[in-house]
Structure 1
Amino acid sequence: MREISLDRLRTLVVIADLGSFAQAARVLNLAPPTVSLHIADLEARIGAPLLTRKRGQVHPTTIGQTLLERARRLLADAEQALDEVQRQVQGLSGRVRLGASTGAIAHLLPQALDILGVRHPGIDVQVQVLTSRESVGRLQDGTLDLGLVALPQAAVKGVQIQPWRRDPIMAFIPLSWAPPSRITPAWLASRALILNDSTTQLSRVTSEWFATAGLQPDARIQLNYNDAIKSLVAAGYGATLLPHEARAPEPDSRLCMRPLRPGLWRHLGIASRQGQIEQSSAYVLQVLLELAAQDSH
């Protein structure tokens, strides 16, 4: 069964509005025979007359009037759909699916969302809590647009990753422990520890830091929620190693933050699909890069 062309429906609407085939041809910039062919095609498809001529004026039949009502709605819906798509192409609206770890969501991402809300209020950022490996996988299968991922990451076909920011990893320790000004692997390994679980890049980085001193300490508990870890540290349950982002809130007064010796860093990147990205995603990427540049100064 042949579908009805929107062009044919538009021709029918214009003829009905103007009451003339000839005037409709001029408005639509079509040859008069083409306008007549459009109506003939519609009438053949419907199986009934749609227009009648009386005293030089063209009027819709009863069936034609029914089709006109639907045609106006269809044409309006088509125009609205094109407008919405065009706004998304221009980055004025749209949805951006972004994956990030709980650490990035806690302090880094809200800053970007505040700026985006002012600059591009029509962009809806849908945040998903994912590990770096999950974000890369979702980008590869097309169910994610951007991902904030820990570096390094193995190369994956169809996904590109650019460095985003570098944050120092610090020791967070209960204040009652009276820690030294700089924390070494040997000092920390002899205490109760709260660490990220072994599936995370942060766990691998901190394990390597302990390994430089020939140590492999066991964690008292493993968590992936940095704020929950800090709460446990403040309660005296143990010490931890976590990244400290610029402009992050001051830690609980019951714990203290100390630099490490040797120093340690958490590297993050922004992952996206290779090739040209949609404008709305490009705006989100721009804000994230701007924030990283500000924090590096």
Structure 2
Amino acid sequence: MREISLDRLRTLVAIADYGSFAAAAQLLHLAPPTVSLHIAELESRIGAPLLSRKRGNVRPSPIGEALVARARRLLVEVEATLDDVSRQVQGLAGRVRLGASTGAIAHLLPQAIAQLRDSHPEIDVQIAVLTSQETLARLAQGTLDVGLVALPQSAAAGLSIRPWRKDPVMAFLPADWKLPARITPSWLATQPLILNDANTRLSRLTSEWFAQGGYRPTARIELNYNDAIKSLVAAGYGATLLPHEAGAPQSDARIAMRPLRPALWRELGITHRAGQVERATQHVLDALWKLKAR
């Protein structure tokens, strides 16, 4: 079955609006024979006359009226679709799929989202809570556009992975404990601990930090949700090690923060598919790079 060209429908609507082939040709910047050809092709495709000519006035036939009504709706929908796509191409709108851990989502990502809403309110960022390895896998599969991952990471074919932030890991402790000025592995290993889930990069960093002092303590509980960990610290359940970003909100008054000795850092990177980046994705990347720690 032959398809009906949008150009032919546009010609039919123009004739219906202006009442003549000549006016339609002028409006559409077509030669008059081309307008006649468009209508002849449509009538051949439909199998019935679409226009009637009386006293120099061209009007749609009853079948033509039905087709004109449908054509108007179709052309409006096509124009709206093309406008939406054009806005995405220009980076004015679009959807960006982002993967990050709960640690990054808790404080860093909301800052980027707020900045993005001010500058590009029609960009929809869809966030998935993922481990770094899950994020990298989904980027490689094409089901994510941007990821925030713990560093270091091995090079991955087709992906760009660049350092983003380096934030200190601090000890978060119940404020009513008797605390030293700096927290060492030997002191903290004797305390009840609330640590990150063993599958996380932070858990591995924490284990390595304790191992420097020859310790391998067992946590009372392991979680992968920093706010829940802090709530347990505030309740006096135990102490923890968590990253602390500059400008992060003050912790609960029941929580004391202390620096570590030796110091420990959490490094994050930004990753996306290598090559040309869509403009909406680039705007998200720009908002994240503004949060790069100095």
TM score, norm. by length of structure 2: 0.96
CA drift of 1:107 comes to: 0.9
CA drift of 1:251 comes to: 1.5
Aligned to 2:85: 85
Aligned to 1:137: 137
CA drift of 1:26 comes to: 2.3
Aligned to 1:27: 27
CA drift of 1:32 comes to: 2.1
SS in 2 for 1:176: coil
Aligned to 1:215: 215
**Where do 5+ consecutive residues of structure 1 fail to align?**
none
Aligned to 2:119: 119
**Residue type of the alignment partner of 1:188:** L
Distance 1:58 1:288 in 2: 59
State the aligned residue count: 294
Are 1:11 and 2:11 counterparts? yes
CA drift of 1:155 comes to: 2.2
Distance 1:243 1:2 in 2: 63
CA drift of 1:175 comes to: 2.2
Distance 1:131 1:2 in 2: 51
CA drift of 1:156 comes to: 2.2
CA drift of 1:42 comes to: 1.0
Distance 1:53 1:186 in 2: 98
CA drift of 1:211 comes to: 1.6
CA drift of 1:282 comes to: 1.0
1:27-66 equivalences under 5 Å are 27-66=27-66
CA drift of 1:149 comes to: 1.1
Are 1:250 and 2:250 counterparts? yes
1:49-198 equivalences under 5 Å are 49-198=49-198
Distance 1:86 1:6 in 2: 19
After superposing the two structures, state which structure 1 stretch, 220-229 or 150-159, moved more. 150-159
**Residue type of the alignment partner of 1:103:** G
Distance 2:105 2:55 in 1: 71
After superposing the two structures, state which structure 1 stretch, 123-132 or 239-248, moved more. 123-132
**Residue type of the alignment partner of 1:265:** W
The superposition leaves residues 91-131 of structure 1 with CA deviations (integer Å, 9 ceiling, x where unpaired) of: 21111111111111111111112211211111121222111
After superposing the two structures, state which structure 1 stretch, 262-271 or 87-96, moved more. 87-96
After superposing the two structures, state which structure 1 stretch, 59-68 or 138-147, moved more. 138-147
CA drift of 1:259 comes to: 0.8
Runs of 4+ displaced beyond 3 Å: none
Distance 1:110 1:23 in 2: 55
Aligned to 2:203: 203
Are 1:232 and 2:246 counterparts? no
Distance 2:34 2:141 in 1: 46
**Residue type of the alignment partner of 1:144:** L
Are 1:278 and 2:278 counterparts? yes
TM score, norm. by length of structure 1: 0.95
The superposition leaves residues 171-220 of structure 1 with CA deviations (integer Å, 9 ceiling, x where unpaired) of: 11122321211111111112111111111111111111112222221111
SS in 2 for 1:70: helix
SS in 2 for 1:291: coil
Distance 2:38 2:202 in 1: 66
CA drift of 1:84 comes to: 0.9
Distance 1:260 1:201 in 2: 18
Aligned to 1:269: 269
Distance 1:201 1:44 in 2: 68
CA drift of 1:81 comes to: 0.7
Query: What is the root-mean-square deviation of aligned Cα atoms in Å?
Result: 1.3
The percent identity for this pair of structures is 68
